[in-house]
């Protein structure tokens, strides 16, 4: 079951900024860190943001994350063709389960 | 280099069992929590289960609780997922992940192993 809600799709032209939202509740996003994953077609997911707004080494600084209350966002600035992928948010829920978002497909026009 | 190699997937009939394994290398396995995440065909990611580095604490998604059992052998750097009473809705790619326990932090993923439950 998906506890975190994301828009099904987002798009932009090369160079534009795209923002993806992730809406949860007080038991998950509201009280725990948020993480973001990029999944290119046919591959395993890859961590792009951890602890709300931190980038792992090797992830371009075009990717940024933020959190406010029970919602979080992932922004991709300077959009590039290789950013075309599915993106998922994730968090821990105080009911002692991990939860993922519904996923957002980003298309580069 | 961190490597996670899953095995044990395949075709099984409803009600059947499978045991997935995940062989880890490139890091000190016994110092790290681990988790399984699955993805049904054409669907999103679903957290399945997580285990602490010592194996003392384990959590399960409601959808698999009572049917799946997660365990680890730190001497063999291997993670296991015993899946019983399998249902059609368990059909998915199962990913082994190095994770931080009780968080959404999965920093390394295996390539996944496909489990198909069908008669």
The pLDDT score that the predictor gives to residue A2 is: 67
Question: Which residues of B make CB contacts under 8 Å with A?
Answer: 35, 37, 44-47, 50, 59-63, 95, 102-107, 109-112
**b/e per residue, A2-11, with b = 16+ CB within 10 A?**
ebbebeeebe
Average pLDDT over residues B56-66: 96
pLDDT above 80: residue B97: yes
The pLDDT score that the predictor gives to residue A42 is: 92
Spatial CB neighbours of A57, under 8 Å, sequence gap ≥ 6? none
Determine the residue among B64, B104, B108 to mutate to test chain A binding: the one whose Cβ has the most chain A Cβ atoms within 10 Å.
B104
Q: Which of B22, B35, B116, B14 is nearest to B76 (CA)?
A: B22
Half-sphere exposure of B25 (CA within 13 A, CB side): 5
By the CB < 8 Å criterion, does A54 face chain B? no
In chain A, which residues have their Cβ closer than 8 Å to the Cβ of B37?
Answer: 45, 98, 100
In chain B, which residues have their Cβ closer than 8 Å to the Cβ of A50?
Answer: 105, 107
Helix (H, G, I), strand (E, B) or coil at B12: strand
Length of chain B as a residue count: 119
- What does the pLDDT look like over B28-60, one tens digit per residue? 999 999 999 999 999 999 999 999 999 999 999
In chain B, which residues have their Cβ closer than 8 Å to the Cβ of A44?
Answer: 95, 109-112
Q: Work out the minimum CA distance from B101 to partner chain A, whole angstroms.
A: 9
Nearest to A90 among B95, B104, B109 (CB): B104
Distance in angstroms (rounded) separating the CA atoms of residues B66 and B60: 9
- What does the pLDDT look like over A53-77, one tens digit per residue? 999 999 999 999 999 999 999 999 9
Instruction: Return the structure tokens found at B3.
Output: 């490597």
């Amino acid at each position: 079951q998906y506890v975190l809600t994301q828009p099904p799709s987002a798009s932009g032209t090369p160079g534009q900024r795209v923002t993806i939202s992730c809406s949860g509740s007080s038991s998950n996003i509201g009280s725990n860190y948020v993480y973001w994953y990029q999944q290119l077609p046919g591959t395993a997911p890859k961590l792009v943001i951890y602890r709300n707004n931190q980038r792992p080494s090797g992830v371009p600084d075009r990717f940024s994350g933020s959190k406010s209350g029970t919602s979080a966002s992932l922004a991709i600035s300077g959009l590039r063709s290789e950013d075309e992928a599915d993106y998922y948010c994730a968090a821990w829920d105080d009911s002692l389960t991990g939860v993922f978002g519904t996923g957002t497909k980003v298309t580069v026009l | 280099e961190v490597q996670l190699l899953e095995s044990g997937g395949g075709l099984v009939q409803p009600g059947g069992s499978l045991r997935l394994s995940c062989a880890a290398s490139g890091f000190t396995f016994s110092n790290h929590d681990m988790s399984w995440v699955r993805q049904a065909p054409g669907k999103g990611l679903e957290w399945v289960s997580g285990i602490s580095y010592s194996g003392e604490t384990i959590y399960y998604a409601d959808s698999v609780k009572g049917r799946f059992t997660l365990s680890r052998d730190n001497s063999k750097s291997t993670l296991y997922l015993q899946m019983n009473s399998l249902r059609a809705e368990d059909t998915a790619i199962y990913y082994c992940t190095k994770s931080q326990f009780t968080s959404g932090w999965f920093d390394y993923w295996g390539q996944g192993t496909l489990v198909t439950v069908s008669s």
